Amino acid sequence: MAAEGLQRAFRHDRPALVTYLMTGYPDRETSLASVRAAARAGADLIELGVPYGDPLADGKTIRGAGWHALFRGVGLADALELARDFIAAEDDSPPVALMTYYNPMLRMGLDRVAEVAREAGVGGFIVPDLPVDAADEWLAASEGLDTVFLAAPTSTPERLRMVGERSSGFVYCVSALGVTGVRDGIAPGLTALVERVRAATELPVAVGFGIGTPEAAALVGSVADGVIVGSAIVARQDDPDDVERFVASLRGALG
């Protein structure tokens, strides 16, 4: 387990609030201000998105913010730098995970990514296009860092077991089929899905994709160890005060 391991976010006796923000949107300074605002408002874990040119798993909101930052030249190295600056300036920063696609990591070099991430104090990585059975090289390179694999409604029992065993920090449970983005209500069958994931792991189980309001967060929080909110925060990222108010309302809903 990493010294700054992601599991620290789940130490409270209420569901943890995981907030996703896009690096460099609408610009570097404002995105750093939004990360700080989210932390002030009570986020338990910061998930920092990396702009990428082929965002396979993302819906419109995150894609749009990603393209915006991408055209300004923002990439993985910038996200690592932003994480470093954020962590270094806080007395008690919440753990930070990077959410990045795999090719920017390959391009920078897996060993180098891990080294810079450790130096920055990053706790771990979430890589949506790196399924658990394709991750040997990264797991070998990333000692001291957590790697969170995703569990989906379609995952077979055998795959859930692999996800549960090879993840560290927590398991990211995808609430519904499809990509990121706010949806109405919570997915039918979510309770059963979370139970299936829980049975496959000893780690906390956080649920993401589609959660966009305090009400939805409270509902999901009643069945999961953590609630991940992304698109609804990114949509407010041009105004750090708005991010702070919104994250505080999410946090309020989780008790």
The residues assigned a catalytic role are 47, 58
**CB 63, min distance to another protein, A:** 8
Binding segment for another protein among 1-9, 24-32, 67-75, 189-197 (CB under 8 A)? 67-75
Q: Does 24 sit near another protein (CB under 8 A)?
A: no
Q: Does 65 sit near another protein (CB under 8 A)?
A: no
Closer by beta carbon to another protein, 45 or else 179: 179
Work out the burial of residue 178: count CB atoms within 10 Å of its CB; fewer than 13 is exposed, 13-18 middle, 19 or more buried.
middle
Q: Does 22 sit near another protein (CB under 8 A)?
A: no
Bridge partners (DSSP) listed for residue 151: 173
Give the type of residue at 65.
Answer: A
The binder of another protein chosen from 25, 52, 86, 246 (CB under 8 A): 52
Closer by beta carbon to another protein, 85 or else 129: 129
The binder of another protein chosen from 82, 174, 207, 217 (CB under 8 A): 174
Q: Considering only residues 86-145, where is the footprint of another protein by CB under 8 A?
A: 102-108, 128-134
Q: Does 151 sit near another protein (CB under 8 A)?
A: yes
The encoded tokens of residue 154 equal: 């379609």
Whole-number Å distance between alpha carbons of 148 and 166: 8
**CB 218, min distance to another protein, A:** 25
Which DSSP category does 26 fall into? S
Q: Does 154 sit near another protein (CB under 8 A)?
A: yes
3-state secondary structure (DSSP) of residue 231: helix
Closer by beta carbon to another protein, 49 or else 55: 55
Whole-number Å distance between alpha carbons of 69 and 52: 9
Candidates 4, 252, 242, 250; CA nearest to 122 is 4
- Sole residue written with tokens 């953590």: 226
Whole-number Å distance between alpha carbons of 5 and 174: 21
**CB 103, min distance to another protein, A:** 4
Closer by beta carbon to another protein, 38 or else 150: 150
The binder of another protein chosen from 8, 40, 112, 159 (CB under 8 A): 159
Candidates 151, 156, 173; CA nearest to 223 is 173
Binding segment for another protein among 37-45, 116-124, 177-185, 236-244 (CB under 8 A)? 177-185
Strand extents, DSSP E, 26-76 = 45-49
Closer by beta carbon to another protein, 88 or else 134: 134
The encoded tokens of residue 82 equal: 């932003």
Provide Rg for the chain, Cα atoms. 16
Q: Is 94 left (phi over 0), alpha (psi -120 to 50) or beta?
A: beta
Contacts with another protein, residue ranges (CB under 8 A): 52-57, 63, 70, 73, 75-77, 102-108, 128-134, 149-156, 159, 163, 174, 177-179
